[in-house]
Structure 1
Amino acid sequence: MKHQSANAPNPVTYIALGSDLVNTLILTLTEVNSQLALSRERERQAMQEADANRLLNEAEAMGYLRRDADTLQYYRRFGLNSYKQGRDRWYRKGDIDAWLESGKVNRHLD
């Protein structure tokens, strides 16, 4: 009995495929690739939506905007949406981004 070492290459087996089967495989792989690209785009959009809907507390919003609490209060007077629950104030990240893009207050980074 001949013993093969673990590092010995495996023998290659060739099979003949009919042209109909090859064409079917190509069409199937093309469709799978298309569906995979669509799935990736949907995932990217879902991640963007989740990021926009993320709630930031006052400290996180101050860090995101690089501003202090008094400045956030000032920004709220100029239309920055926030949500108050008890003593806590929350900001939706998408609201902050949309408000910044609106240009209601000029934001200069330090």
Structure 2
Amino acid sequence: MQSDIVEELEAWSDSDGEYGHHARSQCLAKAAAEITALRDRVARLEGERQWRPIETVPRDGTMFDVWVPSYAEPGKGYRVPNLWLDADGSMFRYRDPQPIKLSHPPTHWMPLPDSPPATDGV
């Protein structure tokens, strides 16, 4: 059975604290907490960047990407980026006033990632 590094760090932290090694104990506890926080963040980010069924696509102007399957080559297809739906369900590409026409209906959608942080002068 493989032990978890966070559990090991927490156990070492408790043990070191009992033997008077308080600075090392605090460092180990901090490392365990940081690993736990990073694991939670990775899980959240991975969950956000998953393909979702097209039936759940937002219809409020939120931008997203879609997956259009290839019927000629099962398991293949293509991604169409930067789309949004209006209230009537028409799909538009970013800054294009005309609805787009796809070769086949999309089966999945994915939210866009967050924008990079703003920089001075940009």
TM interval, shorter chain, is 0.3 to 0.5
- Which structure carries more strand by proportion? 2
